Amino acid sequence: MPSLAASLSQASAPNLPGPSSMATTTTDLNTDTITSLKRTAASAFGSTSEENSGRKKPKEAADESATAMSISEPAIDGQALADELEQELQCGCCSALVYRPVIVHPCQHFFCGSCVVLWVRNGGTNCPACRGISVSVTPSRALQSMADVLSRAAPSRARSVNERMQADEIYKAGLSLRLPTPRLPSPEPTIQTNNNYVLPCPHCLPGNQFGWRCPEPIVDPDTDPENAWNSEEGVPPGHAYCGNCENILALPAPTTTKCDFCQVSFCGIGVTNRCSVAPLASQYPNELSDLSDLLQCGEVYECFDHNPFEVEVMFDYLASQNFTPRHIYREILDMILQTPRQFEPLFERDLFMDVHGVSGGVDPNPTAPRQKICRACATEVLLWGLRDWWVQERKKGFLEEAIMKRPDCPDGNECVRQKDHG
C-alpha cells in the first residue's frame, strides 16, 4: 500500500500540464488569434475590385461627355441670331438698326442720336418711348459696338450710306444731349368760356394781396353780369394779356413790365422770371440754357444757310471755350450797340412781330433807346447776330490751324456751290 504521505501529496497537487504541453497550448492560442485578425487577400481587396469594375477609363468618360454635350447643345442658327439681335438693336423712333446710339437717363431707352435731335426740334421734352422726364442723354459705346458687329456680319442690315450721311449732318457722334425741361404749366386763364366774359385781374379786386388796386377795375360777371365785359369787344380798358401766361393784367400795375422790342406786357405774377422782362444784358434767351439746347435748335442751321460743316466747326469751338448761349447773346448785344443804327436793322426785318401768343401794343417812340427785353426777343437777337459774331470770333485765331488756313469763298453767303459736292 502506498504511504499516507504519498497519497496526500497526490490528492493535493492539481492536474497541471507539463512544460511541453503548456508551450503547445500557448502556441495554439496565439495562432488562432492572429488567424482571426488577418484578412485574406480576397476579402481585403474585394471591395476595391468591385469599385474598379464600376469605374470607367478616362478616355471612355471623355467620349461619353462629348457625346452628351453634342446632344444637349443645339447648333446655333446664324440667321435667327442676326434677326433677334437686329430686333433688340432697333431704334424706338425710326424702327431701324440704331445708328450713333444714345441712351436716355434714367429710363435707359436708346435711340439714334439724330432721331433724338429731331425729336427735340419738333418740340419733344420727354423720352420718346416712355414720355418720362430725362436727366441727360449720353452716347453708348456698347450699343455702337454691337451694331457694328451685326453690320459686319450681315452688311445687308446696315443703314444705307445716304441715311448715315443725313444722320451725321444732324447729330455729331459722341456728343451728349439734353432733353429740354418741360415748360411750367401756365395758370388757368381767367376768361370764362361759357359766357365769354372777362374776369377781373388780380389788381381789380378791393383789398387784394398786392396792395394796389386797378383804377379801371373789370366788373365781376358773377356779381354784375349786365355790366360785365364781353371778350368779343376786345381787351378791357387799362388792361392787356400777359405774354407768357396769357392772363389778364393791369397795365399801370407795379408788377407789370413791358418789352421794348415786341411791346408785349407781362404780369410779373404768374411764373417767376418768365412773366417779366429784364434789362438787355441781364436777360436769358428763351429755351437756350446751355450748348446742347443751341445744338438742338434748328434755327441755328438756318443762320448758316444750312451749312452743317461750318456749324459743326462752330460747335466744336464753343465746347472747347465753354461758351454758353447767354455769353454769346451778351457779346452780340455789344456788337449791335457799337453800330450807328443799333437795333434798327432788326426792326426793319420785323423780327419781333408775333413772337408771343398775344398781340403787343403800339411802339410809342420807335427812335427811343431799348432798355428792357423779354426772353423771346432775346432769342431773336441771338439768332440774328450769331453768324456775324462767329465771323468776328474766327478772326481771334483760336481755331485749329487747318481751319484757319481754309480760303474764304469770294461770294460769301451768296455762294451757290457750298452744297454741290459733285
The model's pLDDT over 276-286, given as tens digits with 9 standing for 90+, comes to 999 999 999 99
* pLDDT of 396 above 80: yes
Total-model pTM: 0.57
Please state, in angstroms and rounded to a whole number, the distance separating the CA atoms of residues 390 and 310.
10
Phi, psi values for residue 112, rounded to 5°: -65, 145
Nearest to 194 by CA among 224, 227, 225, 234: 225
**Higher pLDDT residue, 15 or 386?**
386
Convert the pLDDT of each residue in 111-123 to its tens digit: 999 999 888 888 7
Residues linked to residue 239 through DSSP beta bridges, in sequence order = 250
Phi, psi values for residue 47, rounded to 5°: -65, -35
Q: Point out the least confidently predicted range of 1-10, 218-227, 381-390.
A: 1-10
**Higher pLDDT residue, 87 or 193?**
87
**Higher pLDDT residue, 371 or 78?**
371
Angle between helices 325-337 and 375-394 (to 10 degrees): 80
What the block records as the C-alpha cell of 24 is 503547445
| DSSP state letter for 189 | P
Average pLDDT over residues 288-293: 86
pLDDT at 30: 47
pLDDT at 69: 53
Domains and CATH numbers, the chain: 79-170 (3.30.40.10), 282-409 (no CATH)
Tell me if 134 sits within 8 A of 104, measured CB to CB. Answer: yes
pLDDT at 215: 92
Q: How confident is the model at residue 256 (pLDDT cuts 50, 70, 90)?
A: very high
* pLDDT of 55 above 80: no
Q: How confident is the model at residue 191 (pLDDT cuts 50, 70, 90)?
A: very low
Convert the pLDDT of each residue in 323-338 to its tens digit: 999 999 999 999 999 9
pLDDT at 333: 95
Q: What is the mean pLDDT of the chain?
A: 79
Convert the pLDDT of each residue in 62-76 to its tens digit: 566 555 555 555 666
pLDDT at 17: 46
Average pLDDT over residues 359-366: 82
Convert the pLDDT of each residue in 132-162 to its tens digit: 888 788 999 999 999 999 898 888 888 998 8
* pLDDT of 8 above 80: no
Tell me if 283 sits within 8 A of 223, measured CB to CB. Answer: no
Average pLDDT over residues 38-60: 49
